[in-house]
Structure 1
């Protein structure tokens, strides 16, 4: 009796184990649903897109120092750009000159060499050479143009002197001797000038100064005459020189004035290091140089592209207002209703008046680094996303204050580069435009991934939930859902996060900082695709077996019965065992049946008179998984083709545009298909899949590919992006969706 009761207890334990196994399966499915539902792939998509774009942007001369700056630049609403070297080529040439009381324009300088009085010319040459830090590196014979190392403006004047026969190094070494106490005061953006004080024969001092023409002129009381003598700078001569400066500036020329002043030995301290600032007053005006810095060939087009993209481009320069206006008009920055201000006016203007003027401010001339910092701070206070360029050490505060600091890689100082988020390796404004393009590409790639992931999530989770409500086993088991999660997260991030930018990205305005990542158009795409896929899969779940002539669900087609463990070792019949209905007593001797029927198979007739209490619960040996395998296959191929649809988060129906240019996307799609074939054909009991014949494979692909034409049609459903999600309301309207014409 005890042996039989032990056998029955073992049966109960077996049944309990079966129940626990089903409970564990349910728990695993629940955990898998949570894993699929949580968008853990979103940070991965962001990282992949940023990292990939950062590498590609280096080819466009953008070195990313702060990874997030790439995406931030995409929604930039205002760019404050320097002029020299960014908008212009930083290739300075002296083309006009005021000297010896006369103005020489470019044609006269080119066709009629100027004849100088020796004393006059020596003073001008010494004033330039003694007060310069640039170097001329000779690379060949006298006919070869030397390389300018250092400040290009100084280089232009030194090259002009070289063409007049002056040997720069000889003149400089003779005039400026720091070993004897001569002192040089570097260029100051506050003074807009640079000065050098040297000792002269006889025990006195001479100050040489050069800088912004109108500022140096305002510090002059005398003028150097054509014969080398000094005369008083009267009103007529002063006005004539001033008009010359304005005329040069309106021709987009940078104007530089060279002046000097003599001091007696007792007017300045013997130790010049105790003199904090040079005494730049009562000077003698020697000459005015008009220096041309050609506009870069691609600047006007790049500025126009940025403006078309809803970005306000502002020029912040140290040049005078006339030069700044002329350059800004030439490159398209200054419009008819735009405003140009000088730094002193800007910083002294009342705040309320300045706030009202700020949207129209397009040029800030004669600006200091503090003016640039103030401008950036005020723009950011208006919720603008500001990118600012800088190359000098004093530009570091403005670079740090901006949303994106853009340092110049060639002309920039080390401190400016350390303060920047992006380094423009070639100093060109066109490269800044490319950084905006890549930034928008990163932003859109993240949205593409979100659109794709949400569609997969909605369909997978809804199918599992509705299938369970209908009494089915989960149509997508844990292994299938984890594979779907891999497609959706890692592989989806790789495919959609490495999309390259299209020029059309610069035809729309930037998004606001608080704009929703999921737009109205994306919601439309998700709803339509999810509804189609879910409806199709539910029809296959309920009606598929009849349509496809396959068993319903995961059907068992071969079942084996076995004896309860060790029942054959029961030695003798026991008096009474409860049957399954707990109502009848049965004299059971299971061991008597063992020799006759060692195993029972469902495919054979059940041997008569075998007590069920002698048997374990039936075990299925062979399953037919074709129903759920086909369902799984259709679902995966729907995602494969919908991933192509996800390449556009707008109403642009041309989802195949540039499709074959993204090798990573093609590789991911190919690998997804290959792994899907392997899982279906060779997964077996591990993945609970059965091999499908050619017809079912063809049906799977055919149903999946319907998502492509559906993706085209749904883009003509009249849903547009929320206009309030865009920044810069004064920018251009959103471009219309493309026409049906290719």
Structure 2
């Protein structure tokens, strides 16, 4: 549409600028659909519940519960069902916010708009707009559909919500002949949900609803698949592995028993006991609770996590793709330098000596910043200069009232106002430096009006310096009213350089990311020079060759980008589909990608990324609903804190998983070895289930909330493909599982020799559970000694171990519990033997850690 002449477009759409559409035309065109965005049907409660239980581990637990019911072990079945329900309920509570992206997009449209129909100006509902309607654009109104601009009077439109560009775009009606052009450079179009900040215009509706640019974003949201987190992938693999292992062990043990001539029913029970032993029944609940507790901690870190697995995903992030406007920068144009009396200074150095410069910029200004910013962001930035001198616009206007003006227009690129100023009639003119200098004859130096000729070179040199920093430069002049035109024979006062500056904390945050092995990439709709200046300032890149423009990106295929993605740190002048391309390219290289953003244009990439992070204050509803996490303080530095929290959570979950699996492996090896040796079964099914669900789960949960590792951000991010058993985890698992099994078999054999089968099973049950409780202390660190980590730093773990020991003593020594758990009271000397052998697992692990440390 932007390449067509107005007359051609009017003819194609059968409309007229003066008349508008007729009622009959409107009625016919409304059959093609209303000007609304499609809504996606929300998931039913049953679908949400299915999402929570659709995990291999949960299916295995369901099978275990079913088998328990067949065997009339109702208590076992009830406990397993409670675990499944607990897991689903906690997950539903945390993920209750349904996908509302399209609803949020709809809210961005204004409810009413001005159109010309049947020769009359009418205010209608936005939903009733049709292609061909003639829309009247006024300052302060949202754009109700995609429009081809037919008339423009000083029109500026804020398109940051679509393009990410912080400065309003100056519009025109001129035809554009370029074939490939970024959205932010299409000057003769106005896009749905953008905002007119200045001037007025008339536009022809060229697209409505899902056919608009914002509609395309809505479609992209619908078509973007949600990715599994690394933890979900690891647990799915683990669940499948345990499922296969349990079936193989069942078949193997049943076959061995039959070959040994054992009773078939007895061997069926033993085989099922082994299957139960290998599955850590409490694991899903432990992980869910640990993640939920992590979510609560992160709320205090100004981060709201919408989906539980997203907490852990942060720990594996090695690329943060960040939007510039409002994320790395403040999303607020700010004057950072000024030039006055032949000197360039920072804005913080403004004093009363510079009062004329400040007064001029504040008076020659149509914005207001006293009850919230109203008007053009550039003019608001100029008003903010008043804070350095304790000035406000309303008092200044009352003191120096405006008598006359020449409004800004895009041809002159200047604005002029005429005031009573300190008993004189003064004219202030502000605008683009090159045009201002053409009308300037003098310069104000130390209060004297001097010919400007000798100062032009210095002015231009300083202006070029500001431009090299990607600052927008505005000049100010004045004159006393005379008989010549307002904008002639001007006296140069000074100039200012402004930019949307970086947040103060971003530089340190980027440094921390670099130390943690995390690459920061800036993706913005702003111009290349501005993007590079900001990125260089905060430490994201050092070379202009690390910047790619949207124009270049548009000419690349996804495969081409995939090959070259690692060369770039900044992407400028991008469009929404480009952001998704960038995220996919990074993912193709195996990166775990976090995307931060606040605008509608960020929503598809937020959803495509491994974890999307939206800004809570400046962020649009769309970005918040499309993301996995929201920063309530809009602080980029909070991302780094969240990554640190995510790393600690994954580390703790790994501790819990390896602890539970090593304990369960001990049970499997003990039962398997006993059958191979043709012994009686050392453990009953109720013993195994009790240990897995109660005695093991409390320490596992305590490990899940282990205090943070202060050195974790000095480590490199783990790879997505990294197994839970990596970095010594497999040795830890096999060694400790074998050691626990050995202790269990030794005391079972001892019990058989000295007492009877029930006594022997009781001793095996006790040493199995108590040794696991001692073993939980080992799991706080796979490298450091427990004494270096701090025995008393995790008091919850100590309390859970103590509670577990008290429960085990109660099961044995309280008569009413003996029948339920098939146990008998033990002698004091046997208790001493149990505790002595159980504690040995702690001493052996300390010895291994000491040897490993000395070998490094």
* TM-score between the two structures when normalised by the length of structure 1: 0.63
Structure 2 distance, partners of 1:539, 1:323, is: 73
Q: Secondary structure at the match of 1:473?
A: coil
Is structure 2 residue 629 aligned with structure 1 residue 495? no
Deviation at 1:327, TM superposition (A): 4.7
Deviation at 1:471, TM superposition (A): 3.8
Is structure 2 residue 287 aligned with structure 1 residue 46? yes
Q: For residue 803 of structure 2, what is the aligned residue in structure 1?
A: 671
- Unaligned 5+ segments in structure 2 are 1-262, 399-405, 419-428, 444-451, 478-491
Is structure 2 residue 576 aligned with structure 1 residue 361? no
Query: Structure 1 or 2: larger helix share?
Result: 2
Q: For residue 65 of structure 1, what is the aligned residue in structure 2?
A: 306
Structure 2 distance, partners of 1:165, 1:542, is: 87
Structure 2 distance, partners of 1:164, 1:407, is: 36
Match of 1:382 among 572, 589, 594: 589
Match of 2:773 among 640, 648, 660: 640
Provide, for residues 687-735 of structure 1, a one-character-per-residue CA deviation record: whole Å limited to 9, x for no partner: 23222233222221121111112223334676xxxxxxxxxxxxxxxxx
Q: For residue 826 of structure 2, what is the aligned residue in structure 1?
A: 692
Q: For residue 724 of structure 1, what is the aligned residue in structure 2?
A: none
| 1:364–1:536 Cα change, 3 Å | same
Deviation at 1:529, TM superposition (A): 1.2
Q: 1 or 2 for the larger relative contact order (CA 8 Å, sep ≥6)?
A: 1
Structure 2 distance, partners of 1:171, 1:371, is: 46
Match of 1:707 among 829, 833, 841: 841
Q: Secondary structure at the match of 2:496?
A: strand
Deviation at 1:418, TM superposition (A): 2.0
Structure 2 distance, partners of 1:711, 1:553, is: 31
Structure 1 distance, partners of 2:436, 2:347, is: 31
Structure 2 distance, partners of 1:346, 1:168, is: 44
| Count, aligned residues | 557
Is structure 2 residue 466 aligned with structure 1 residue 248? yes
Structure 1 distance, partners of 2:338, 2:640, is: 36
| 1:643–1:62 Cα change, 3 Å | same
Q: For residue 416 of structure 1, what is the aligned residue in structure 2?
A: 623
Structure 1 distance, partners of 2:500, 2:833, is: 67
What is the aligned-residue RMSD (CA, Å)? 4.8
Deviation at 1:54, TM superposition (A): 0.6
Deviation at 1:69, TM superposition (A): 1.8
Of 386-395 and 314-323, deviating more is 314-323
Is structure 2 residue 385 aligned with structure 1 residue 160? yes
Aligned counterparts, 1:116-135, within 5 A: 116=356, 124-125=361-362, 129-130=365-366, 132=367, 135=369
Is structure 2 residue 440 aligned with structure 1 residue 225? yes
* TM-score between the two structures when normalised by the length of structure 2: 0.56
Deviation at 1:91, TM superposition (A): 8.0
Structure 1 distance, partners of 2:476, 2:579, is: 29
Aligned counterparts, 1:35-184, within 5 A: 35-83=276-324, 86-87=327-328, 94-98=335-339, 104-106=344-346, 110=350, 113-114=353-354, 116=356, 124-125=361-362, 129-130=365-366, 132=367, 135-137=369-371, 155-161=380-386, 168=393
| 1:239–1:41 Cα change, 3 Å | farther
- Unaligned 5+ segments in structure 1 are 1-21, 138-146, 174-181, 186-190, 201-207, 211-215, 229-233, 261-284, 555-624, 719-737
Deviation at 1:227, TM superposition (A): 7.0
Provide, for residues 276-316 of structure 1, a one-character-per-residue CA deviation record: whole Å limited to 9, x for no partner: xxxxxxxxx99753247776565444322222222101234
| 1:409–1:658 Cα change, 3 Å | farther
Deviation at 1:50, TM superposition (A): 1.5
Q: Secondary structure at the match of 1:105?
A: strand
Structure 2 distance, partners of 1:149, 1:31, is: 72
- 8 Å contact 1:476–1:628 — kept in the other structure? yes
Structure 2 distance, partners of 1:489, 1:114, is: 72
| 1:245–1:397 Cα change, 3 Å | farther
- 8 Å contact 1:76–1:385 — kept in the other structure? yes
Deviation at 1:432, TM superposition (A): 0.4
| 1:430–1:292 Cα change, 3 Å | same
Q: Secondary structure at the match of 1:410?
A: coil
Structure 1 distance, partners of 2:571, 2:789, is: 42
Of 653-662 and 454-463, deviating more is 653-662
- 8 Å contact 1:42–1:489 — kept in the other structure? no
Provide, for residues 261-287 of structure 1, a one-character-per-residue CA deviation record: whole Å limited to 9, x for no partner: xxxxxxxxxxxxxxxxxxxxxxxx997
Is structure 2 residue 757 aligned with structure 1 residue 553? yes
Deviation at 1:169, TM superposition (A): 5.1
Structure 1 distance, partners of 2:332, 2:798, is: 45
Aligned counterparts, 1:443-454, within 5 A: 443-454=650-661
Q: Secondary structure at the match of 1:135?
A: coil
Structure 1 distance, partners of 2:522, 2:677, is: 67
Q: For residue 713 of structure 2, what is the aligned residue in structure 1?
A: 506
- Larger-Rg structure: 1
- 8 Å contact 2:751–2:761 — kept in the other structure? no
| 1:694–1:318 Cα change, 3 Å | same
